[in-house]
């Protein structure tokens, strides 16, 4: 995450899960003029009886700078302020921490809805790994693996661009469209590219916009795998060694 800080601009809002909710990262974002909306780290306790109360389950508190971690230089540590004013919001089963302190402009409900958009990151990763089949990389050298990764990301961005264009043309939120259906439509378009491109392209966009997702707010799914793996031994050595052993067993 710290390697991406130079790409963060003034006015950006960073969404993240509890792993990113650290004092030093919040301070770094504030110094860059950006805001953060994170879930509170499990190691930190929130007491809503303290701080400046805004409403029930919503207050502004002051965090004190912890001890310097080993990876941080003393010069960098001294440049970070000794205290931070952050806003803690209790929303159902989680506590959200944000540097957005203006409760009149950004209500408790607005911040909770904004944090809910973080789940799109998980859905995007699932689309890349499962639907685009990047869960197993097939190249054998580091250079080719990098190319394989970039090829998947390029293909993903192309499909998302098509979805955005389809949503714009049909006045639909692209996030409400099916990524898998968009991928299938694009593959079909490529196979029939001999037809007049402009006509076929419009047909493809209409087909993408037609398949909308069912909106199910508040839906929760267990983080489990439905399909059981086959009851087979794992490959622990090169295939040619198995073949030589099989030939030896047949001869014997």
Task: Evaluate whether 20 touches 38 at the Cβ level (below 8 Å).
Answer: yes
**Helix, strand, coil tally for the chain in percent (to 5):** 45, 15, 40
Six-digit token pair at 203? 């047909």
User: What pLDDT tens digit does each residue of the chain (252 aa) get?
Assistant: 888 888 999 999 999 998 999 999 999 999 999 999 999 988 888 888 899 999 999 999 999 999 999 999 999 999 999 999 999 999 888 899 999 999 999 999 999 999 988 988 888 999 999 899 898 888 989 999 999 999 999 999 999 999 999 999 988 899 999 999 999 888 888 776 666 666 778 888 888 888 888 777 766 767 787 888 788 888 888 888 888 888 888 877
Q: Where are the domains of the chain?
A: 2-117, 120-218
Q: Which among 53, 52, 64, 57 is positioned nearest to 27, based on CA atoms?
A: 64
Q: Is 111 exposed, middle or buried (0-12, 13-18, 19+ CB in 10 A)?
A: buried
Contacts 24+ apart (CB under 8 A), 50-53: 51/88
Six-digit token pair at 179? 């990524």
CA distance 138 to 221: 30
Q: Is 37 exposed, middle or buried (0-12, 13-18, 19+ CB in 10 A)?
A: buried
Q: pTM of the full predicted structure?
A: 0.73
Six-digit token pair at 193? 């590219």
């Amino acid at each position: 995450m710290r390697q991406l800080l130079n790409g963060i601009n003034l006015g950006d809002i960073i969404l993240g899960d509890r792993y990113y909710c650290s004092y030093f990262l919040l301070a770094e974002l504030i110094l860059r003029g950006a805001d953060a909306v994170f879930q509170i780290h499990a190691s930190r306790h929130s007491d809503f009886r303290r701080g400046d109360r805004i409403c029930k389950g919503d207050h502004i508190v002051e965090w004190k700078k912890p001890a310097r971690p080993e990876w941080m230089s003393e010069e960098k540590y001294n440049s970070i302020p000794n205290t931070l004013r952050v806003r803690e919001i209790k929303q159902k089963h989680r506590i959200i921490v944000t540097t957005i302190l203006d409760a009149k402009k950004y209500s408790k409900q607005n911040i909770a809805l904004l944090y809910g958009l973080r789940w799109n990151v998980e859905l995007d990763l699932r689309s890349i790994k499962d639907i685009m089949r990047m869960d197993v990389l097939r190249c054998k050298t580091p250079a080719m693996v990098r190319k394989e990764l970039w090829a998947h990301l390029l293909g993903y961005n192309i499909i998302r661009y098509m979805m955005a264009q389809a949503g714009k043309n049909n006045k639909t939120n692209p996030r409400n469209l099916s990524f898998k259906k968009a991928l299938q439509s694009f593959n079909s378009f490529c196979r029939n590219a001999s037809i007049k491109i402009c006509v076929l392209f419009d047909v493809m966009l209409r087909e993408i916009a037609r398949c909308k997702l069912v909106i199910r707010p508040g839906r929760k799914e267990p983080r489990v795998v439905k399909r059981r793996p086959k009851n087979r031994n794992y490959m622990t050595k090169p295939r040619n060694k198995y073949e030589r052993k099989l030939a030896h067993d047949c001869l014997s």
